[in-house]
Amino acid sequence: MTRKRKRLLVVLLGLGMLGIASALVLFAFNDNLVFFMSPSDLASKGAPETRRLRLGGLVETGSVAREADGHTIDFRITDGNSAVPVVFSGVLPDLFREGQGVVVEGAMAKNGVFRADTVLAKHDERYMPPEVADALKKAGHWQGEHPSANAAQAKP
């Protein structure tokens, strides 16, 4: 086999591989992109059906209630203008608190309750998820950066 044909073969193989990868990426993007929404977004646009979402805001003060089984928790996420009821079954992260910024992932149920399967509260109490900060700014309830927002990092 000549050098030219060998190179052509490798290039074709590479292009084929790239093609397969692009197809995989596009298909995966189609189903698996998770959009972030704030409670106000949900109120104005409504929830896309059967699609996974990330919902972010502050845990409304006084809204956290634990059901009798001990691990199902109801609470509300607010951005100051609207609030969305959330139900989550499992163990909450250590830093989950009322008034704290959180992001939950899951889907909107028919009854208007957000069923979360993941609750992300950050590793550092001084940290505010950037999407939540943006959502609060948009809703006009941004209190300003904590003076020590320049916090330690969890992982290099």
**Smallest separation (angstroms) from other proteins to the CB of 133:** 9
Among 94, 111, 140, 144, binds other proteins (CB under 8 A): 94
CA distance 4 to 17: 20
Instruction: Give the number of residues in contact with other proteins, rule: CB under 8 A.
Output: 53
Among 82, 85, 107, 131, binds other proteins (CB under 8 A): 131
Among 45, 49, 69, 143, binds other proteins (CB under 8 A): 69
Q: Does 64 bind other proteins (CB under 8 A)?
A: no
Place of tokens 């993941």: 118
CA distance 116 to 22: 31
The CB-based long-range contact list for 122-130 (8 Å cut-off, 24+ gap) reads 122/95, 123/95, 123/154, 124/95, 124/151, 124/152, 124/154, 125/95, 125/100, 126/151, 127/151, 128/101, 129/56, 129/101, 129/102, 129/103
Q: Does 28 bind other proteins (CB under 8 A)?
A: yes
Among 43, 74, 82, 95, binds other proteins (CB under 8 A): 95
Q: Around Cβ 87, how many Cβ atoms within 10 Å? A: 17
Residues 88 and 66 sit within 8 Å (Cβ to Cβ): no
**Smallest separation (angstroms) from other proteins to the CB of 104:** 12
Stretch that binds other proteins, among 42-50, 69-77, 79-87, 136-144 (CB under 8 A): 69-77
**CA-based Rg of the chain, rounded to a whole angstrom?**
22
Applying CB under 8 A, which residues contact other proteins? Answer: 1, 3, 6, 9-10, 13-14, 17-18, 20-21, 24-25, 27-29, 31-36, 54, 66, 69-71, 89-92, 94-95, 105, 120, 122-125, 127, 129-131, 134, 148-156
